[in-house]
Structures are given as structure tokens and as C-alpha cells.
């Protein structure tokens, strides 16, 4: 974290710091990415649960 924001770093940088392979972190980052560079986030429902629809910057899909 940097100033309260998440920061993605390359595997090479992680290896230089002596950290293990970030396979789980990669999975999270790839699940949140799209080919258009938009962030996909779950949409909350009125009951507080998560909807199967995903909110994308600029609208729902």
C-alpha cells in the first residue's frame, strides 16, 4: 500500500525483495482487469449481498 492505495508491482521487483511468487495476487489482479483497462467491481444489492451483475466504469454489463 502506498498512501492508502494498492500498488501493483512486477514479479521481477517482488523477486528482488525476496518475496515468494505472487500467484494469488496475480489471480486477484486478473479477475479485476478487463481487456479495455476498466476495473470490474461486484454490484451490491439492496439486501447487502453481491449481485451477479458487475459494475464497470461507465455502466453495468
CA angle, residues 23, 27, 13, in degrees to nearest 5:
50
Pairing of strands 40-44, 50-56: antiparallel
Please state, as a whole number, how many other Cβ atoms lie within 10 Å of the Cβ of residue 32: 12
Give the per-residue pLDDT at 39.
58
**pLDDT grade for 1, boundaries at 50, 70 and 90:** very low
Q: Which position has the higher pLDDT, 12 or 60?
A: 12
Per-range mean pLDDT, top range of 19-28, 39-48, 51-60: 19-28
Q: Which position has the higher pLDDT, 5 or 32?
A: 5
Instruction: Quick: pLDDT tens for 2-21.
Output: 577 777 788 888 888 888 87
Amino acid at each position: 500500500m502506498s498512501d492508502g492505495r494498492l500498488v501493483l508491482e512486477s514479479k521481477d521487483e517482488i523477486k528482488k525483495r525476496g518475496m515468494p511468487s505472487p500467484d494469488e495476487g496475480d489471480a486477484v489482479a486478473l479477475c479485476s482487469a478487463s481487456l479495455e483497462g476498466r476495473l470490474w467491481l461486484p454490484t451490491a444489492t439492496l439486501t447487502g449481498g453481491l449481485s451477479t451483475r458487475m459494475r464497470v466504469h461507465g455502466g453495468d454489463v
